[in-house]
Structure 1
């Protein structure tokens, strides 16, 4: 993946101001001589333009308690543990004219080292964790696509690049601003493939997902 320029994404909000009506009263007429009093009404007006919220690009991850990988597919060449990434949603509510020409975005995943809870010296590197991203929304326009599958360095036999999750794309948009707008959802099949002699234990890693705006 090549990132030429990264732009911080700031969520902007507009504070709505409520205007309460204010009555205007004329001078009070004398109680003992109502015939001599006078009053006039003054029209008070205000034109309030509709508030607008600037469009923005944002990412959310479905509520989850983490992913617990379960052993499935082990063979004489490797131990394999699989699971499913929670659904990731990217929403782009910007107007086409507000998106610079050639700008696109990408969701990138980076796994940390797996560390055993009983012994921090026992570790499994992120290069042993692979994934196969799966787009869950309509892709007929081709504006958004799932990232390419990557395998553990212990090959799964699919021919996917054997690099592990060390900064791989989960979801990426094209550079056609009018097609990028909307909501896109993706998840991924996760597969940790280790050598058959991997040390027994409970291991934990953190998979960080980041949304980059690029050009």
Structure 2
């Protein structure tokens, strides 16, 4: 009889577990309502090419100087330099503090066609730069006039066109972002007894960036 009671108790315990298991709740189902979705977005900016400082010269066929303003002191030949444009597309943070720039002109010796022995030195060529436009903050200036070593009577330094400024920034380059245009009146003043002939020279313009 004792064995039978133990068996009955065990059976009841097993049944109780089975009944308890039948009463457990199942796992919750996922909510598939699209109205509960989260939009994920990103705005990818284009990669910016760093800005630069550059110089261009307007299309031209050269400058033919013609006689104009000759006097007892000199024969004078004048013309106009093609428009020179300096453009700075850099951002302020791309420009080192204290940096400035300048466009400098240097004339070579004039040499007569077919007779290299006949020359006119660059010291006889002068110019008067003229600022045409400036979209920067106004911190750009045309260079100072210079005259041939044979004075033109204007009081300009008589140094000739040997490494003279055509255009220059006059403050930190960060203030000159934009575009500036300049040209110049050219004047070749030679001795009155200059040898006749067709002379040619090269006027080189260089943009220097310095700090």
Please state which band the TM-score falls in when normalised by the shorter chain. Answer: 0.7 to 0.9
Shift >6 Å, 4+ stretches: none
Q: Does the aligned pair in 2 maintain the 1:118–1:201 contact within 8 Å?
A: no
Aligned to 1:211: 207
Higher relative helix content: 2
Cα distance between partner residues in 2 of 1:67 and 1:60 = 16
| Superposition deviation, residue 49 in structure 1 | 4.1
| Superposition deviation, residue 100 in structure 1 | 1.0
Cα distance between partner residues in 1 of 2:67 and 2:137 = 37
Pair 1:146–1:97, CA change in 2 (3 A): same
Task: Render the CA deviation track for 1:91-125: whole Å, top value 9, x for unaligned.
Answer: 00011111111100000000000000021000000
Aligned to 1:117: 113
| Superposition deviation, residue 46 in structure 1 | 9.8
The TM-score with structure 1 as length reference comes to 0.76
Aligned to 2:17: none
Can you give the 5+ residue segments of structure 1 that lack an aligned partner in the other structure? Answer: 1-44
1:200 and 2:196 are equivalent in the alignment: yes
Can you give the 5+ residue segments of structure 2 that lack an aligned partner in the other structure? Answer: 1-40
Larger Cα-atom Rg: 2
Cα distance between partner residues in 2 of 1:177 and 1:76 = 45
- Partner-residue secondary structure (3-state), 1:127: helix
Aligned to 1:88: 84
- Partner-residue secondary structure (3-state), 1:155: coil
Cα distance between partner residues in 2 of 1:138 and 1:109 = 20
Aligned to 2:140: 144
Cα distance between partner residues in 1 of 2:184 and 2:71 = 22
Task: Note the aligned Cα RMSD (angstroms).
Answer: 1.8
1:133 and 2:126 are equivalent in the alignment: no
My pick for the range that moved more, 110-119 or 94-103, is 94-103
- Partner-residue secondary structure (3-state), 1:136: strand
Aligned length: 171
The TM-score with structure 2 as length reference comes to 0.77
Cα distance between partner residues in 1 of 2:92 and 2:42 = 32
